[in-house]
Structure 1
Amino acid sequence: MKAYVFPGQGAQFTGMGKDLYDNSPLAKELFEQANEILGFEITKIMFEGSADDLMQTNVTQPAVFLHSVILAKVLGDDFKADMVAGHSLGELSALVANGTLSFEDGLKLVAKRADAMQKACEMQAGTMAAVLGLEDAVVEEVCAAIDGDVVAANYNCPGQLVISGELEAVKAACELATEKGARRALLLPVGGAFHSPLMAPAKEELAAAIEATQFNEPSCPVYQNVVAKAVTNPAEIKENLIAQLTGAVKWTQCAQAMIADGATEVIEVGPGKVLQGLFAKIDRTVARSSAEV
């Protein structure tokens, strides 16, 4: 069985999507449509912008989404998914790819999500840190022992967990994690405390937009970040998508669930190969590749 997976923020690179735009009339049409929907020329930033230009949340999120979704659309009949999943932002790409959301509605939600998250970051400063070489349970204990808001945010693969929260609380957690034997505990260059309670204002704003959007019956199950299991009910998909902003990205558990449900091949759709690398650390027996036109 084939599992198609979609990357999140951080996978962007200068020039992303240009080959699709240049070589596929469908891709060109969708990119131009995206410029209209967003109200600015995201194609110019994607194709010609600097790394710094692409780092802005209101650019990064739609850029990664567009690269992934347009690639999936261009694959056409070659896109044969038995299941899909996306890492954080990538979950919205997955929901367009399996027909739960239309291209236009998906892009509008991504833009709204990016804007809401940016505002939440400005309201309360926060950060994230990668903790390497500790068991998940130990990292969870570390977070629980800290005075202040810090939580396990991204379960990326065994031995790699990202924590998120208030700056001082995250720093304190890094120190304690190092004392507990972490190989490394380092702050990440991010603009805020994603997937933590600090994103509550963004969650409220995004919830209204999600509730007002049409969610269809998907063509195949989506393994959602916050529950790490197959979901096909549109009402449940909405609920889990809303919960994701303040909830953890359980990527390790999603991958394990897909494999347990029969996934033998993982195809990454979009920029980079981060998710293939994580799958390799979760279960090396699963075939891994990038989607190509």
Structure 2
Amino acid sequence: MPPIAAIFPGQGSHAEGMDEPFRGSRALERGLELLGFDPFEHLDLGTRYQQPAIFLCSVAAWEQREDDELPVAAAGHSLGEYAALVAAGVLDFDDALPLVAERAAAMADAGERAGGGMVAMLGGDDHEIRALAARLGLTVANDNAPGQLVLSGATEAVAAAEEVAREETGARARRLPVSGAFHSPLMEPAAERLAAALAEVELRPGAFPVYSNGSAAPFVDVRRGLQ
């Protein structure tokens, strides 16, 4: 059998009814007890509910996998890093879920205060997209793959990037359904809250490497890498 890797999704992957296959699972039962509320009942209210919901389903899916063989590596898209670290045994579930809930609340609060948004630039010239971002004061928040960059920042700047994307870069712009300028300087208050929460949790050696979004290499300093 060829080696396998485990990849966990991030925000934006939620859907109504996503919890149904996992009702009664250890992850959901324990998760709802820890949270004290059901995030699946409030998915339409944004980040503070969507992130815990996605995390719970990710861990539940991992625990219900049919093959017990461990992957050679794992990764997660932003929020998905937390599920990947739980799967590897670096984070305990009971520590990770409160972290995810605090992360979600901090990001939601920062978004409500500062506003902002994100836009995916599909296709086009990466150099021209980066130049456009610099001109408009936007951050290149995600370099997902060749031909797919995500820009983040002030609402007006995101709208301007959408308007001129095709003409100036050849890219197709798609606004992301998020409630803030994630992975940009506008999230600095959220990063400070998350750093304080991360300082309180125990980290253990992992059963397999987890690759960091920031470095594209296995985590070395998990606390720093998650901030």
> Is TM-score (shorter-chain normalized) higher than 0.5?
yes
Partner of 1:21: 23
Paired with 2:114 and 2:73, the residues of 1 have a C-alpha distance of: 37
Whether the aligned pair in 2 keeps the contact of 1:17 and 1:67 (CA below 8 Å) is: yes
Partner of 2:214: 226
Q: Please tell me whether residue 135 in structure 1 is matched to residue 102 in structure 2.
A: no
TM-score normalised according to structure 1 size: 0.72
Q: How many residues are aligned here?
A: 225
Question: Mapping of 1:114-133 within 5 angstroms?
Answer: 114-133=104-123
Paired with 1:64 and 1:140, the residues of 2 have a C-alpha distance of: 30
Paired with 2:54 and 2:211, the residues of 1 have a C-alpha distance of: 19
Paired with 2:174 and 2:132, the residues of 1 have a C-alpha distance of: 15
Paired with 2:114 and 2:203, the residues of 1 have a C-alpha distance of: 32
Partner of 2:223: 238
Measured after TM superposition, the shift of residue 182 of structure 1 is 2.2
Paired with 1:102 and 1:76, the residues of 2 have a C-alpha distance of: 22
Paired with 2:94 and 2:67, the residues of 1 have a C-alpha distance of: 21
Measured after TM superposition, the shift of residue 176 of structure 1 is 4.1
Deviations 1:28-72 (A, max 9, x none): x33221112111133xx3xxx4xx734521211011111111121
Paired with 1:138 and 1:164, the residues of 2 have a C-alpha distance of: 16
Whether the aligned pair in 2 keeps the contact of 1:13 and 1:54 (CA below 8 Å) is: no
Partner of 1:9: 11
Which ranges of 4 or more aligned residues in structure 1 deviate by more than 6 Å?
none
Partner of 1:259: none
Measured after TM superposition, the shift of residue 123 of structure 1 is 1.2
Deviations 1:100-120 (A, max 9, x none): 000111111100000000110
Partner of 2:82: 92
SS in 1 for 2:75: strand
Whether the aligned pair in 2 keeps the contact of 1:128 and 1:193 (CA below 8 Å) is: yes
Q: Please tell me whether residue 166 in structure 1 is matched to residue 151 in structure 2.
A: no
Paired with 1:197 and 1:135, the residues of 2 have a C-alpha distance of: 24
Paired with 2:44 and 2:163, the residues of 1 have a C-alpha distance of: 31
TM-score normalised according to structure 2 size: 0.92
SS in 2 for 1:85: strand
Paired with 2:37 and 2:177, the residues of 1 have a C-alpha distance of: 26
Q: Please tell me whether residue 56 in structure 1 is matched to residue 40 in structure 2.
A: no
Measured after TM superposition, the shift of residue 121 of structure 1 is 0.4
Paired with 2:110 and 2:117, the residues of 1 have a C-alpha distance of: 12
Taking every aligned residue pair, what percent have the same amino acid on both sides? Answer: 44
Question: Mapping of 1:195-274 within 5 angstroms?
Answer: 195-231=183-219, 233=220, 236-242=221-227
Q: Please tell me whether residue 38 in structure 1 is matched to residue 35 in structure 2.
A: yes
AA at the equivalent of 2:56 = L
Counterparts in 2 of 1:88 and 1:55: CA distance versus 1, 3 Å:
farther
2:64 to 74, 80, 84: 74
Q: RMSD of the alignment, in Å?
A: 1.8
SS in 2 for 1:53: helix
Paired with 1:212 and 1:202, the residues of 2 have a C-alpha distance of: 16
Paired with 2:44 and 2:53, the residues of 1 have a C-alpha distance of: 8
Whether the aligned pair in 2 keeps the contact of 1:85 and 1:91 (CA below 8 Å) is: yes
Could you tell me which runs of 5 or more consecutive residues in structure 2 were left unpaired when the two chains were aligned. none
